[in-house]
Structure formats: structure tokens, C-alpha cells
Chain A
Amino acid sequence: MERARLVRGARWLERRANDIAVALMGLMFVSFLLQIAFRYLLNQPLGWTEEVTVLCWVWVVLWCAAFVLSNNDEIRFDIVYTLVPPPVRRMFTAVSSIAFVVLLLLSLPASWNYVAFMKREHTAYLHLRLDAMYSIYVIFVVACVVKQARIAWRAITGADEAENAETAAP
């Protein structure tokens, strides 16, 4: 029962993460269209639309990489990976994911400092604080570390043997 509720909760969060990705993509598109319309049809260029568009682009990439994309949606070099038998593949996954987790955890304090350092800076038109805008990078690093740690754990314990076999074909 408890587990079923957890799974339901995770699904719900997943859908909300998708909603945010869709909203960001839609907002990027709309603000870009507004920019074109104001510049060419009304001859009155807007500055803030360009800023919103660029912010959405950065957030879409890092947000989706953190919460929407699965490992298999990402571009990988999997020629060798698909050739080896499943137990070796699990070892591959465990080693690469652990290496990623360790390196990115080591980078976290410096990344945090860089983003925090930006608190004095603001965007040109909307005067948004740059540390808030850049915070998506820290969110991205933390989410990727958690995601890769989970992938490593599942590879070591063999939790998704079946899933791996299914996703072996690119």
C-alpha cells in the first residue's frame, strides 16, 4: 500500500515536471512571437521579450535535463555498451554513474559560490536577480547527482534487469 502511494506520488510529480517544461516551451515561443510582432508590425521593439525567451531556453534545457529526460532520451555513445552482456553493462553503468556523482558533488560548492556571487547582478530589462535566474544550474546539478546515484544503485542491486534488457536497443 505504502509503496503504491509512493509510486502514485512520483507519477504526479513527474507530470507536474512535464507541465513546467511545456509552460516554459510555450512561454518561450509566445514571447518570441510577441517580439517579432512588436518589432515588425508595430515598429516598437520590446527588450524584455528577448530576455524572457533566452531565460526560457536556459531553463527548458536544464529543467528537462534535471526532471523530464530519462537517461535513454539523452544522446549517448552506446556502441560498446549494447555489445556487452547485461551483467557487464550493469557494471559499466555503476562505474560511470558513480564517477559522475563524485565529480559533480566535488563541483557543487564552487558552482554554488558562482551562482551566489551573481546576486549583485541583474538582467538588463526586467531587473531580475541573476542569482535567482542562474539557480537552475544548482538545481540541475543536484537533480542529476540524485538521478545518477539512483541509476548506480539500481545497477548494483540489479533492480531493473528487465528494464535494461528492454532499453538496450537504441
Chain B
Amino acid sequence: MTMPGHFTLCIVVLVVLALLGLPIGLSMIAASVFYFIVAGLDVGTAAEQILNGLFNSYVLLAVPLFILAADLMNTGSLTDRLLKFCLVLVGRFRGGLGHVNVVANIIFAGMSGSAIADAVGIGRVIIGMMTRGGSYPVAYAGAITASAAIIGPIIPPSIPMVIYALVSDTSIGYLFLGGVIPGLLLGIGFMVTNTWIARRRNYPVEPAVPWRDVPRITLDAFPALMLPVVLLFGIYGGVMTPTEGAAAAAAYALLASWLIYRAMTWKQLYGVLLSSAKATTSVGMLIAGALVFNYVVTIEKVPLSVQEFISGFHLTPIMYLLLVNAILLVLGCLLEGSTILLVIVPIMIPTAKALGVDMVHFGVVVVVNIMIGLLTPPFGLLLFVVAGMTKQPLMAIVKEALPFILMAIAVLAVITLVPETILWLPRLLGYKG
């Protein structure tokens, strides 16, 4: 390392500013500026890295477009219709509304790439349905909503996978495919957990929907159900890139809510665009900060030093993956997911490559880790979202979410130890890894 003293100081400044409550993106920019000043480098590099980085990373456009698509679906009544359809499918089993919640998230995952948007969109309707008449405890309704929402970015499309693709130079298309089976495994795992809890606590069964209503409900949900199909066939049929898929999804959601459901006013559209712009900026500022900060990390050759350090232990790829899982699960309790993806993961990637870990396998494992991090206290973004929606104390939600978190960790262990669970589908469709 050149000048370790300057870099150490830079890390101290970053940690102190972030701990004092300055937004993380701004903290990274300020710490990098500090580094350039003390190291006697050109301070204009900050502007250069941020501007060129944002301009030249075309794949990043998928981030705002997927955010917009999810917001449009939630504002137009696509989500509501989808839930009615899921009620027909799985409402008749013990703990029916819990299953509806999970299945809706699986279908929704096929068009949305953001767990937060899924929890808000689906939770807005289903938490009310579950708690009406006191049939489910409010905290349980919140917990299963938060847990099921992590499926969203694991089944494609996925905003975290787009960010991982950016930092690792991996194909977004194959990453997306790699997430399909792990996402379904999580869905099945959560439904098993829900069945087990529902039996023990005797949660209700929903009255069976009369057969004559089924065609109407299906037809009602049809445009929403078609979106994942259009999107996935578009991307894997080679018609669209994932970024274009994001735009197409947003356009489809807009048209469906406008023309078919007639559930979107100009005022709502303005609101959707504004809230998407804000959400885009929250992530975008982190990306901007990470662009400068990772430049500093790279000129200090940190990933290389980590690689040299780790290679001294003669780890096998599996041991390294388990180590990464352990580190990411702990960090997930403390840090926001995009921060981990943009700052910590790039340091881990060179070692993974050197050990011969497949980059698609690594990426999906990392994203599942980060999704579990959204559920683990004290800092779990999804916990905050559902605690806010249900007006429940955070710890009540955490207690009810615990069986789901353990199930997710079990699935994580399976996909870590059996790479085929992730790589089978991409290989089937031409991945040469």
C-alpha cells in the first residue's frame, strides 16, 4: 500500500461522519475529498469520478426505471387485483392469507426489483386483510409481509443484482436467471414456515371463492399476471436488454392502470414520478459516493491486499463463501444493503475470482445475504417499513419474523453449498460459467 496513513485517516473520517448521522453518500464524498487533500492529489477527481461514473454506466439506468415500474404498479390497482387472484389460489389452506402474501410476492417479484416497494405495495392491502376481525396478530401480518418481500429482488428483475453487475462486471441476464430457483426455494420455505405456525396457532382458513367468480377474478388480474411473462420472455428471448425490460415494465404498468383499470390520474402520475425521483436519488447518492470512494480504495490497492491476506489461509471456495456469508449477515444487521453492495462487496470480489468462485453464484449468494440483512435488527429497512405501516414496536415484528429469518438462512446455506441450485438455469440457457 502507498501512504497507508492517509487512507486510514480517510476511513476514520468516513466512519465518524456516518456515525454522526451525515447521509452515507455525502459522507463518502466528504471522506474522499479529505483523502485527495491530505494525499496531495487533484481534488477535482471527485467531480470527475462521479460525473463520468454516472454518465458511462448505462446499466444503472435500470435502477430508476425499475423503481418507477414498481411505483406505477402500486398506484394503479395492479397489486390489489393480483392479491384477489392469489386468494383464489391458496386462500383455502390453513393460514390462507399468509400463503396469499407469499404467493403474491413471488408473482410480484417477476415484475418488481425492489423489496421495499413490494412490502409497501402488497403490505398496504394484505396487512389490512389479515388483521381484520383479529384473525392474525398484527405483528405476524407485518412480519410475514416483510419476510416475503425479500423474494422480490431475488427473483428477477432485481435492483441489487443490477448494482452487483456494475461492481463485478457480470452479465445481468445470467444473474437474473440465477435468482429464479433460490427465490422459489425461499417462497416454498416461507409457506412451510407459515403452515407450521398457522397449525400451532390455529389461524383461519379463508372461505373458498365460488367457482363462478373465478373466471372474472382471473380475467381481472390477467394484465398484471402477464407482465412477468412479457418481461422475462422479452429479456431472455433476446428482444430486450434488462434495462429496456425495466422501461417496458414501467410502460406496461402505466398503460394497464390507465387504459384497462382506469386507476391513474395526472395528479397520481405526478406523485409517482416525484416519489420515484426521490427513491432514485437515495440510491443514486450512494452510488455517487461509492464511485469516488471506490476509486480511493482502488488506488490504495485494498482489494489486492485483502486477497493476499486471505490467500495466506488456503481457504477452499466453499470456506470462503461461508466466511463471506458470515461477514455479510453481521454487516447486514448494521448497514443498508446498497452500501454493502457498493463498498464492501467490491473488496471481496477479487478473492472470490482468484479462488475460482463463479461470479453468478457469488452474486446471487451476496444478494440473498443482503436481502436477509433487510430483516435483521437493529438496522433492517424492511422492519422499519412494516413497523411504520402496522404501528407495532420493532421488536414485536422481529420476534414474529424470527422463524422466517431462520428459514431464509437455511435456504442461503443450501444455495451456498449447492451451486447448481443457482447455476442450473443460467447454464441451461447458455451460461458458460
In the complex, what residues of A have CB within 8 A of residue B34's CB?
103
Complexed CA–CA distance, A99 and B30 (Å): 8
Q: Which residues B337-392 have CB closer than 8 A to chain A?
A: 338-339, 378-379, 384
B284 touches A (CB below 8 Å): yes
Could you tell me if A104 and B33 are in contact, using CB atoms closer than 8 angstroms?
Answer: yes
In the complex, what residues of B have CB within 8 A of residue A48's CB?
none
In the complex, what residues of A have CB within 8 A of residue B50's CB?
137
Given the known interface contacts A107-B46, A110-B47, A111-B46, the answer about A75 and B20 at a Cβ–Cβ threshold of 8 Å is: no
In the complex, what residues of A have CB within 8 A of residue B251's CB?
29, 33
Could you tell me if A76 and B22 are in contact, using CB atoms closer than 8 angstroms?
Answer: yes
In the complex, what residues of B have CB within 8 A of residue A40's CB?
239-240
Could you tell me if B285 and A75 are in contact, using CB atoms closer than 8 angstroms?
Answer: yes
Per-residue 0/1 for A97-108: is the Cβ within 8 Å of any B Cβ (1 yes, 0 no)?
A: 101100110110
Q: How many interface residues does chain A have, given as a range? A: 35 or more
In the complex, what residues of B have CB within 8 A of residue A54's CB?
55, 58, 61
Complexed CA–CA distance, A131 and B171 (Å): 33
Could you tell me if A75 and B278 are in contact, using CB atoms closer than 8 angstroms?
Answer: no
Could you tell me if A65 and B284 are in contact, using CB atoms closer than 8 angstroms?
Answer: yes
Complexed CA–CA distance, A137 and B51 (Å): 7
Could you tell me if A21 and B274 are in contact, using CB atoms closer than 8 angstroms?
Answer: yes
B122 touches A (CB below 8 Å): no
Could you tell me if B19 and A80 are in contact, using CB atoms closer than 8 angstroms?
Answer: yes
Could you tell me if B61 and A32 are in contact, using CB atoms closer than 8 angstroms?
Answer: yes
In the complex, what residues of B have CB within 8 A of residue A100's CB?
17, 22, 26-27, 30
Min CB gap A44→B, angstroms: 16
Interface residues of A: mostly helix, strand, loop or mixed? helix
Complexed CA–CA distance, A74 and B286 (Å): 9
Could you tell me if B44 and A96 are in contact, using CB atoms closer than 8 angstroms?
Answer: no
Could you tell me if A110 and B43 are in contact, using CB atoms closer than 8 angstroms?
Answer: yes
Given the known interface contacts A99-B30, A110-B43, the answer about A68 and B281 at a Cβ–Cβ threshold of 8 Å is: yes
Q: Which residues A22-41 have CB closer than 8 A to chain B?
A: 22, 24-26, 28-29, 32-33, 35-36, 40
Could you tell me if A106 and B22 are in contact, using CB atoms closer than 8 angstroms?
Answer: no
Given the known interface contacts A64-B280, A65-B284, the answer about A107 and B334 at a Cβ–Cβ threshold of 8 Å is: no
Given the known interface contacts A22-B274, A64-B281, the answer about A110 and B44 at a Cβ–Cβ threshold of 8 Å is: yes
B113 touches A (CB below 8 Å): no
Min CB gap B378→A, angstroms: 5
Min CB gap A39→B, angstroms: 8
Complexed CA–CA distance, A170 and B336 (Å): 13
Complexed CA–CA distance, A144 and B281 (Å): 14
Complexed CA–CA distance, A77 and B280 (Å): 18
A126 touches B (CB below 8 Å): no
Min CB gap A26→B, angstroms: 6
**Which of B21, B281, B282 is in CB contact (< 8 Å) with A89?**
B21
Could you tell me if B46 and A77 are in contact, using CB atoms closer than 8 angstroms?
Answer: no
Complexed CA–CA distance, A148 and B23 (Å): 11
Given the known interface contacts A110-B47, A137-B50, A170-B384, the answer about A71 and B23 at a Cβ–Cβ threshold of 8 Å is: yes
Complexed CA–CA distance, A81 and B239 (Å): 48
Complexed CA–CA distance, A106 and B32 (Å): 12
Could you tell me if A111 and B280 are in contact, using CB atoms closer than 8 angstroms?
Answer: no
In the complex, what residues of B have CB within 8 A of residue A156's CB?
none
A134 touches B (CB below 8 Å): yes
Complexed CA–CA distance, A96 and B34 (Å): 13
Could you tell me if A114 and B379 are in contact, using CB atoms closer than 8 angstroms?
Answer: no
In the complex, what residues of A have CB within 8 A of residue B281's CB?
60-61, 64-65, 68-69, 73
Complexed CA–CA distance, A153 and B107 (Å): 49
A149 touches B (CB below 8 Å): no
B169 touches A (CB below 8 Å): no
**Which of B43, B239, B244 is in CB contact (< 8 Å) with A111?**
B43
Q: Which residues A114-170 have CB closer than 8 A to chain B?
A: 114-115, 134, 137-138, 144, 148, 170
B138 touches A (CB below 8 Å): no
Could you tell me if A22 and B270 are in contact, using CB atoms closer than 8 angstroms?
Answer: yes
Q: Which residues B203-261 have CB closer than 8 A to chain A?
A: 239-240, 244, 247-248, 250-251
In the complex, what residues of A have CB within 8 A of residue B37's CB?
103, 106-107
13 A-B contact pairs sorted by A residue (CB < 8 Å): A21-B273, A25-B273, A32-B247, A62-B288, A69-B278, A74-B24, A75-B283, A100-B26, A103-B37, A106-B37, A107-B36, A115-B47, A137-B47
8 extra A-B contacts, CB within 8 A, seeds A25-B68, A75-B24: A36-B244, A36-B247, A61-B54, A75-B25, A79-B379, A97-B22, A99-B22, A100-B27
Chain B residues proximal to chain A, CB less than 8 Å: 13, 16-27, 29-30, 33-34, 36-37, 42-44, 46-48, 50-51, 54-55, 58, 60-61, 64-65, 68, 239-240, 244, 247-248, 250-251, 270, 273-274, 276-278, 280-288, 334-336, 338-339, 378-379, 384
Chain A residues proximal to chain B, CB less than 8 Å: 18, 21-22, 24-26, 28-29, 32-33, 35-36, 40, 50, 53-55, 57-58, 60-62, 64-65, 68-69, 71, 73-81, 89, 92-93, 95-97, 99-100, 103-104, 106-107, 109-111, 113-115, 134, 137-138, 144, 148, 170
